[in-house]
Structure 1
């Protein structure tokens, strides 16, 4: 892939082989059984995948956002849930590298790089959805500790993560509201409850949970960085790589749907010829491939922008928006091409169709995403008065 070093290209090639050899043969069974992919996760740890966002001296295999994007696409091509198992972990890694104190980095990043310590982020609340400034979870300072009360929902890997980047209000009366928001790096303990696993259409195997905090005490040193009130801006930066990651999960699902459709359209015959030779099917294949390539170029553009150190919220938002909508369209077209078999649980196409909607509503719904894009467009192209 253009833009990757030789070492990065080798990492992507190893992941591609791993997906073909280890993931695709078991993905259908794991998905239908809603089974956590323990063995696959252990293999990813051994391969160093959980440390790809962590530089030296804490990690050994730090890669560019372009490489990380390609790795995520490969994992999602095998099973989208597997890519989701590392998504929040990577965002927290980036938050620590960018904003953590030296003590926080030394305490967490070496174990996160090996996968010994898994991390996730807790943003969404039952009544707030994508409106993060409306969050109600509070962290009240008491001496050398914070006392946390509130709830979160749709928290991926909540049962298996030993570290949670918790977005909360340390100053509920702040105006504007975002100035009162901070991130606490919390570990499970008394008052931290994983209340239930949420039932889902797709994204099986990896848990998405509700969390409740009832006078949950954490040390004051859990505050990400040195000052309160910067959590919203910190998380917005973290969500740039998060949205690139979600876009890549969409790419992986779409690519799997296209590859299965190309194979089926050459093997299946009707009216005396392979079905790809029928114009209606051929047109579907052409549109699927074209849209996916356009989505991939948007993702790579966002990744390059992120690697440059510049703000990438506009580019990441565009990539997430377009790639997720494309994945949904491609998954539906794959069902059309497979006909009745596309509706059968004996084929993978129905799984792609169930998994694709997550990327439309995850990491900020696409309706919110369009609003973010519009605001950034105006900000970057503001007319002079």
Structure 2
């Protein structure tokens, strides 16, 4: 006797739960998603047109407890684990890469202050970073210097109880909205090796001699403010030095593992969103009297992308857990950053192609995602630099 059963599967490519997530993470996600649906989604296209996310959004996020969830309660934070930072980034990028300023502030810049700041600095700045009164930025890149941070030319010369800063930065995320900028400077231009002359100084937004240059027009992430920053004899108290003189390069390197996991995870979420919208489109769109999803080429494309997405998720989940456990995984983080962001960029082209002519229309989300994802293999260290790091750590 034969038995016929209906084929079923519990495989869900688009689930948001992750192995490190607890009920508390899920509650945080639910609350944050409701906030985004009310305060961001209705206005996001307008912000894309304006090329700027209103500063007030970050203040509202701070008031609701969504910024810097990891900060110690002694400084006004919630003392939560890295999983909450990942949730924050995921829910922001699901709407669009242009509102990533909250994640950069919470998960990349503020951790420098948490680990290397003096008690006085932390008491002064951290509570305001948590409640949204302060939004931060980190200013590394210069017109002539990108990944080679040891070669920055912005200088900070000691003058009594102050530093006099001169130079220019570019491509600075949160450059327009930031109230506190972590500026990478040279305090010793004669240091050998050069990286030992690099320091980080925190510059407040109203510092005389500091000004914001152009709000840069970009290919994508239009609602994310990216700007030039100019320092012309900007006088900053020595007390705003982060760590010690000459430690800037090492401070930056110490947090790059977390930054690259964050970047890779954002690439994964964008890829997930692109595939979700594409699957919906090919099922609804009919060509030659049948849905586009019924053609073998479409099915093969979707199957391949779904497989890559699943592999990325498994790798990322493993890395996140190891990072939360304090393990040193800089090589694997570099692998994740280059492969997943590169996968997302490839996927954007494949998904746009499956949309046909409509994919080229601004009214379809894939057009924006196609633009936004293009920068991911470039920032947080180019993917070519990631491969150099991997090769070096393999002993080559």
Asked if these proteins are the same fold (TM beyond 0.5), I'd say yes
Is 1:9 the counterpart of 2:33? The answer is no
Change in CA separation of 1:321 and 1:164 when aligned onto 2, cut-off 3 Å: same
Q: Does the aligned pair in 2 maintain the 1:65–1:304 contact within 8 Å?
A: no
Offset at 1:260? 0.7
Tell me whether 37-46 or 367-376 shows the greater mean CA deviation. Answer: 37-46
Q: Which one of the candidate residues 274, 278, 293 is aligned to 2:291?
A: 274
283-292 or 62-71, larger mean C-alpha shift:
62-71
Q: The residue matched to 1:50 in structure 2 has which SS?
A: coil
Match of 2:370 in 1: 353
Matches of 1:270 and 1:256, distance apart in 2: 24
Q: Render the CA deviation track for 1:26-56: whole Å, top value 9, x for unaligned.
A: 4334324424245643442333221223122
- The yes-or-no answer on 1:182 pairing with 2:182 is no
- Partners of 1:288 and 1:20 lie apart in 2 by 28
Question: Is contact 2:51-2:225 (8 Å) kept?
Answer: no
| Matches of 2:77 and 2:201, distance apart in 1 | 26
Q: Do 1:83 and 1:249's aligned partners in 2 also have CA atoms closer than 8 Å?
A: no
| C-alpha distance in 2 between matches for 1:252 and 1:18 | 19
- Per the alignment, in what secondary structure is the counterpart of residue 157 of structure 2? strand
Provide the rounded CA distance (Å) in 1 between the counterparts of 2:81 and 2:362: 37
Corresponding residue number in structure 2 for 1:145: 162
Aligned position for 1:232? 249
What is the Cα deviation at residue 159 of structure 1? 1.9
- What are the superposed Cα offsets for residues 327-350 of structure 1, whole Å, 9 maximum, x if unpaired? 111211111111111000111110
SS of the aligned residue for 2:387 comes to helix
Q: CA offset at residue 318 of structure 1? A: 1.7
Give the deviation of 1:293 after TM superposition: 2.3
CA gap 1:286/1:22 in 2 versus in 1, 3 angstroms: farther
Q: Once the two structures are superposed, what CA deviation does each residue of 1:236-270 show, in whole Å capped at 9, x if it has no partner?
A: 12222222222222222212211111111211122
Match of 1:343 among 353, 357, 360: 360
Query: Distance between the aligned counterparts of 2:49 and 2:124, measured in 1?
Result: 38
Cα RMSD after superposing both structures: 2.0
Q: Are 1:196 and 2:234 an aligned pair? A: no
1:297 positional shift: 2.7
SS at match of 1:321: helix
- What SS does the aligned partner of 2:380 have? coil
Structure 2 partner of 1:211: 229
Q: For residue 335 of structure 1, give the secondary structure of its aligned residue in structure 2.
A: helix
Matches within 5 A, 1:30-49: 30-38=47-55, 40-49=57-66
Of residues 130, 135, 143 in structure 1, which corresponds to 2:152?
135
Partner of 2:87: 70
User: Which of 275, 292, 316 in structure 2 is aligned with 1:258?
Assistant: 275
**Offset from partner CA, 1:261-304 (integer Å, 9 cap, x none):** 11112111223322112111111212222222222233333322
Higher fraction of helix:
1
The alpha carbon displacement at 1:113 in A equals 0.7
Deviation at 1:22, TM superposition (A): 5.0
Q: 2:7 corresponds to which residue?
A: none
Q: Which residue of the partner structure matches residue 386 of structure 2?
A: 369
The answer on 1:98 being equivalent to 2:115 is yes
Q: Contact conserved, 1:78 with 1:256, CA < 8 A, in 2?
A: no
Q: 2:130 aligns with which of 108, 113, 124?
A: 113
Q: Are positions 1:223 and 2:241 aligned together?
A: yes
Distance in 1 between the 2:146 and 2:345 partners?
21
Q: Which moved more, 1:280-289 or 1:65-74?
A: 65-74
TM score, norm. by length of structure 1: 0.92
Distance 1:288 1:33, change over 3 A: farther
The whole-number CA distance in structure 1 between the counterparts of 2:42 and 2:365 is 11
Alpha-carbon shift at residue 147 of structure 1 (Å) = 1.2
Asked if 1:289 corresponds to 2:306, the answer is yes
Determine the C-alpha separation between the residues in 2 that align with 1:270 and 1:61.
53
Structure 2: distance between partners of 1:266 and 1:17:
28
Query: How many pairs are equivalent?
Result: 378
Range with greater deviation from structure 2 (103-112 or 16-25): 16-25
Asked if residue 55 in structure 1 is aligned to residue 72 in structure 2, the reply is yes
* Paired residues of 1:66 and 1:300 also in contact (CA < 8 A): no
* 1:105 positional shift: 0.8
SS class of match (1:298): helix
Unaligned 5+ segments in structure 2 are 1-17
Q: What 5-or-longer segments of structure 1 have no aligned partner?
A: none
